Amino acid sequence: MGLDHYTYRVTWSPEDGEHVGLCVEFPSLSWLAATPEAALAGVRQLVAEVVADLEAAGDPVPQPLAEKHYSGEFRVRIPPELHRQLVFMAAEQGISLNRLASAKLAG
């Protein structure tokens, strides 16, 4: 597993007045820097250090999201009335409820 496979993001932090580098697989980690490039480099280095520490301790290392297998299925609980409305909407469009839900999530 390479450290490059983790999901990194850089955004502006108005509270700190700096860019913040984040890693989705390690939500407690962040790195503040004056430039986006420095924020990304900082959080990548921090992740590398944490992964090395976890491995040295024999603790589990989070799997990168990009390397996980996704079935394409998940359950969503919604109020019965919304379920009813969606069934009617799908029927009016002549499509399955699954296709309607998929289209709404995609768009």
Residues 39/31, Cβ–Cβ less than 8 Å: yes
Radius of gyration of the chain (CA): 20
pLDDT for 1 equals: 63
Residue 93 pLDDT exceeds 80:
yes
pLDDT tens per residue, range 10-37 = 999 999 999 999 999 999 999 999 999 9
Residue 107 pLDDT exceeds 90:
no
User: How does the average pLDDT of the chain come out, rounded?
Assistant: 96
